[in-house]
Structure 1
Amino acid sequence: MILAATGLLREGRILAGQGIRPLAGGGDPARLLALLDRWAREADGIISIGLCGALSPRLRPGDWVVAEAVLDGDERHAVDGPWASRLMEALPGAAQGMQVGQDGMLTDAAGKAALHQATGALGVDMESHVAARVALRHDLPFAVARVVSDDAGHDLPPAAEAGMRRDGGMDLAAVLRSLARDPRQLPALIRTGWHAERAFRELLRGHHRLGPGLAGPAGAGDAGLV
């Protein structure tokens, strides 16, 4: 069984299948850590997979990032090399480099630019560092494959952050309340939604290419690649 660490329940529904257990963190690192710890003893590997924010200005919504390592504060967590190679083989055009994991959502372009300059990382998400810690603790193979949903040059509107529930679901009421407080964010929210839909569609296509084992160690060699 492969554990798939995601942020949203929708990502998990896309990835669900035989041999895959999606676990949605909902932006709560303690919750995700507990879920991963609970299932790690039955797992053959852990992959952090789903949407991410771009740090590199070269990346656009729908682009894949396969991590060669994950930055977790001052720590650097290595990934399983053969697994990363299979991911790159199955996802033509994917960028490979550093991924940053952090507890909070990075919403502003200035913050993305500063983090990219400081680390050279390609993308950022709220699950990879947690998944890396659990994989290290349980001595499990670990990998990261993320689809860009927001590029480095745009700020995310407050409504986008307000819309994530702690279980990984979407809180439409919270989005509407945020819009009511500041209707000027509507164009940015629409753009964010378009970009996210592009990323969700690419995540589905990528899942089909990776196959039921997400190119992980549970499948031998090229099993699962199409």
Structure 2
Amino acid sequence: MKKVLVTAAVRQELSGLEKLLEASELLPGERGCYLRGTLLGIEVLLGLTGIGAGRAGEKVGRFLDTEHPELLLATGFGGGLTGTVSSGDIILAQKVVEASRGDQEPRELETDETLLEALGAVSIPSATVCRGSLLTVEDVVCSARQKRALGSRYGAEGVDMESYAILREALKRGVPCIAGRAVLDEAGFDLPRGLDSIPDSDGRLDAMKLAALVLRRPWSIPGLFALRSRSLRASTSLAAFVKAAVLARKDSSHDA
């Protein structure tokens, strides 16, 4: 294995991983991956999809057609839907479910069993890596009540807004892909509303939009402070997970 692509919606999610990469370099342009480096002797590319399935599918398709990686790790933060996962835990997707929309029934994509077997035994310090299902939805799920209802309806452990589209694009091109999401907000935690308005179209945090959110919703400040520690924990877990996953995949490739 020579090249791995790691994606996330916003750069904050990959901040821990950026620190682990050796010989890293920022890449020019706004349409491709933004950072290249090495990890355990493997070339690693980082790409931002932005928030939402439509944008993510388009960008990941472009990344894959340009870079031709041998493995795609669809990472980022997600919300917990059950009491079995805590902030900082990694949900390794056995399958990804697209939530129903209007008359459209839920759709599922399963992770390749060989890839799941290779990465399913990875462990990281201070957090749990658990196999489970990820649910992809159209809108940010903020309330604890909403999260528990979705977990009960779909039988999923975690929720995000991009994984189904990313896995779909990888499957179209025959690129091995697995989704691994770090839990930012556990099932019982109410997210401050308006978080999805802060990143810009390229998945970078916009300070002006953050300030505007605080001005519009000053009562959200305590929740934003609570998210700060969770964000650090989740980004640290993601970095450790990616490192362990690259090592596990590297070892399984050698065994083959």
**Per the shorter chain, which TM-score range?**
0.7 to 0.9
Deviation at 1:63, TM superposition (A): 0.8
Partner residue, 2:138? 103
Q: Which amino acid in the other structure matches residue 84 of structure 1?
A: L
Aligned residues: 219
1:187 to 197, 200, 222: 222
SS in 1 for 2:121: helix
Q: Distance in 2 between matches of 1:117 and 1:28?
A: 23
SS in 1 for 2:226: helix
Counterpart check, 1:9 vs 2:11: yes
Partner residue, 1:174? 209
Partner residue, 1:53? 79
Q: Distance in 1 between matches of 2:173 and 2:55?
A: 17
SS in 2 for 1:32: helix
Q: Distance in 1 between matches of 2:97 and 2:73?
A: 15
Q: Distance in 2 between matches of 1:214 and 1:155?
A: 35
- Cα RMSD between the aligned structures? 2.1
Higher-Rg member (1/2): 2
Counterpart check, 1:209 vs 2:244: yes
Deviation at 1:159, TM superposition (A): 4.6
Shift of the 40–214 alpha-carbon distance from structure 1 to 2, 3 Å rule, reads farther
Shift of the 28–214 alpha-carbon distance from structure 1 to 2, 3 Å rule, reads farther
Does the 8 Å CA contact 2:13/2:234 hold for their aligned counterparts?
A: no
SS in 2 for 1:152: coil
Q: Distance in 2 between matches of 1:143 and 1:36?
A: 13
Q: Distance in 2 between matches of 1:54 and 1:169?
A: 23
Q: Distance in 2 between matches of 1:152 and 1:167?
A: 28
Q: Taking every aligned residue pair, what percent have the same amino acid on both sides?
A: 24
Q: Distance in 1 between matches of 2:45 and 2:167?
A: 16
Q: Distance in 1 between matches of 2:155 and 2:247?
A: 27
Deviation at 1:214, TM superposition (A): 6.2
Q: Which amino acid in the other structure matches residue 46 of structure 1?
A: L
2:109 to 77, 99, 108: 77
Deviation at 1:222, TM superposition (A): 6.8
Deviation at 1:99, TM superposition (A): 0.8
Partner residue, 2:118? 86
1:102-181 to 2 correspondence within 5 Å?
102-181=137-216
Comparing 25-34 with 61-70, greater Cα deviation is found at 25-34
Deviation at 1:46, TM superposition (A): 2.2
Partner residue, 2:252? 221
Q: Which amino acid in the other structure matches residue 77 of structure 1?
A: L
- Report Cα offsets for 1:189-213 as digits up to 9, x if no partner: 1111221111112222223333xx3
- Report Cα offsets for 1:66-117 as digits up to 9, x if no partner: 1110002311101022222232222253111111122322222121111100
Q: TM-score, normalised by structure 1?
A: 0.87
Partner residue, 2:25? none
Does the 8 Å CA contact 2:47/2:63 hold for their aligned counterparts?
A: no
